[in-house]
């Protein structure tokens, strides 16, 4: 599967992006956030979770186990890249990709330092939520009440450190002026804080 890996000099960590339904590594919103993370000294990997053929079967988009498996494969690959060896790993998931990120993070032996969800569906990770150990930030638009409720319910099942961050006035896709900037800022702060903590404890 194709992917775009960027690791700035002196990177503090590497963030893998798990896109949501109907999206991919070319998502302008994810690329915008990835650019902000790069400017803040964080590496990023954007890639497609499904092949073009698999995307034609709509059920694959909601097959969280399949998506998480692909994320785990890419995580193993990323850890072997010369520029990324030893870097703390983080996941940024949107929509169903957030569920895949949490599912993958709950897998035994997969050491993830931090997770950020943007308008995500963490509820779709179901019974895996209690096994997540990575600090998790759930970013939700203030005008996305259904997803906010689902995030609140999922947070109650998370045993790890977690926080819900509401972006006022934002709808599900964070298309309002300044909304995506807020997402990028919150994500950057979360990853930098927890990557630094991970490096300090190493």
pLDDT band at residue 28 using 50, 70 and 90 as cut-offs: confident
% the chain with pLDDT above 70: 96
Cβ contact 102:128 at 8 Å: yes
Q: Which long-range contacts (CB under 8 A, 24 or more apart) does 50-56 make?
A: 51/1
Which residue reads 């994500």 in tokens?
A: 187
User: Has residue 92 got a pLDDT over 60?
Assistant: yes
Q: Cα dihedral angle (176, 17, 35, 163), rounded to 10 degrees?
A: 60
d(CA 145, CA 148): 5
Domain spanning 3-200 has what CATH number? 3.40.50.1820
Question: Mean pLDDT of all residues in the chain?
Answer: 93
Burial category of 94 from C-beta neighbours within 10 Å (exposed 0-12, middle 13-18, buried 19 and up): buried
Q: Which of the four pLDDT bands, split at 50, 70 and 90, describes residue 97?
A: very high
Question: Minimal CA–CA distance to 66: which of 101, 30, 100?
Answer: 100
Give tens-digit pLDDT for 5-23: 999 999 999 999 998 765 5
The predicted-structure confidence for 103-152, as pLDDT tens digits, reads as follows 999 999 999 999 999 999 999 999 999 999 999 999 999 999 999 999 99
Residues 46, 160, 144, 120, CA torsion sign: positive
Question: Quick one: what percent of the chain has pLDDT higher than 90?
Answer: 83
Run of H or E residues at 145:
helix 145-155
Going by pLDDT thresholds of 50, 70 and 90, the confidence category of residue 57 is confident
Q: Look up residue 171 and give its two tokens.
A: 């709808």
Q: Are 123 and 98 in contact (CB under 8 A)?
A: no
How high is the pLDDT of residue 55?
77
Assess whether pLDDT exceeds 60 at residue 158: yes
pLDDT tens sequence across 30-41: 999 999 999 999
Helix (H, G, I), strand (E, B) or coil at 101: helix
């Amino acid at each position: 599967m194709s992917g775009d890996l960027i690791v700035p000099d002196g990177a503090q960590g590497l963030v893998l992006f798990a896109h949501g339904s109907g999206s991919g590594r070319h998502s302008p919103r994810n690329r915008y956030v990835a650019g902000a993370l790069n400017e803040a000294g964080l590496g990023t990997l954007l890639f497609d979770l499904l092949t073009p053929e698999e995307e034609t079967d709509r059920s694959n988009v909601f097959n969280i186990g399949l998506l998480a498996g692909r994320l785990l494969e890419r995580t193993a690959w990323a850890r072997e890249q010369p520029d990324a060896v030893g870097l703390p790993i983080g996941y940024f998931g949107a929509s169903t990709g957030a569920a895949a990120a949490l599912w993958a993070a709950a897998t035994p032996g997969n050491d993830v330092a931090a997770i950020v969800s943007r308008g995500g569906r963490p509820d779709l990770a179901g019974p895996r939520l209690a096994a997540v150990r990575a600090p998790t930030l759930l970013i939700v638009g203030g005008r996305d009440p259904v997803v906010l409720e689902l995030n609140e319910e999922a947070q109650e099942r998370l045993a790890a450190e977690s926080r819900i961050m509401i972006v006022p006035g934002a709808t599900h896709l964070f298309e309002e002026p300044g909304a995506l900037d807020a997402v990028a800022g919150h994500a950057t702060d979360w990853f930098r804080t927890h990557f630094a903590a991970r490096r300090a404890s190493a």
